[in-house]
Amino acid sequence: MSGSGLSSVRAARKVLADRLGELRRDAQLTGQQLAHACGWHPSKASRIENARTVPSTDDIRAWCAATGAEDQADDLVESLRTVEGMFVEWRRLERTGLRRAQESVLPLFQQTRRFRSYSSWLVPGLVQTRAYTAEVLRAVQRRRVPVDDVEGAVRVRMDRQRILHERGRTFALLMEESVLRNGMGGPVVMAEQLDRLLDVGGMPHVSLGVLPMTADRSCMPVEGFWIYDAAQVNVELVSGYLTLTRSGEVAMYASRFAELASMAVHGAAARRLISGARDVLG
CATH of the domain at 37: 1.10.260.40
- My answer on whether 63 and 127 are in the same domain is no
Domain count, the chain: 2
- My answer on whether 46 and 169 are in the same domain is no
- My answer on whether 125 and 259 are in the same domain is yes
Amino acid 84: pLDDT = 66
Q: What is the mean pLDDT of residues 190-217?
A: 93
- My answer on whether 51 and 182 are in the same domain is no
- My answer on whether 154 and 79 are in the same domain is no
- My answer on whether 140 and 53 are in the same domain is no
pLDDT tens-digit series, residues 217-241: 777 768 899 999 999 998 887 666 7
- My answer on whether 53 and 138 are in the same domain is no
- My answer on whether 51 and 157 are in the same domain is no
- My answer on whether 66 and 98 are in the same domain is no
Element (H, E) at 208: strand 206-211
- My answer on whether 144 and 200 are in the same domain is yes
Q: How far apart are CA 164 and CA 167, in angstroms?
A: 8
pLDDT tens-digit series, residues 80-132: 776 666 666 667 667 788 998 899 889 999 999 999 999 999 999 999 999 99
Element (H, E) at 103: helix 98-103
Comparing CA positions, the residue from 75, 68, 61 lying closest to residue 25 is: 68
Portion of the chain with pLDDT greater than 90, in percent: 65
Domain's final residue, options 49, 69, 87: 87
pTM of the full structure: 0.74
Which structural domain range is residue 236 located in? 94-280
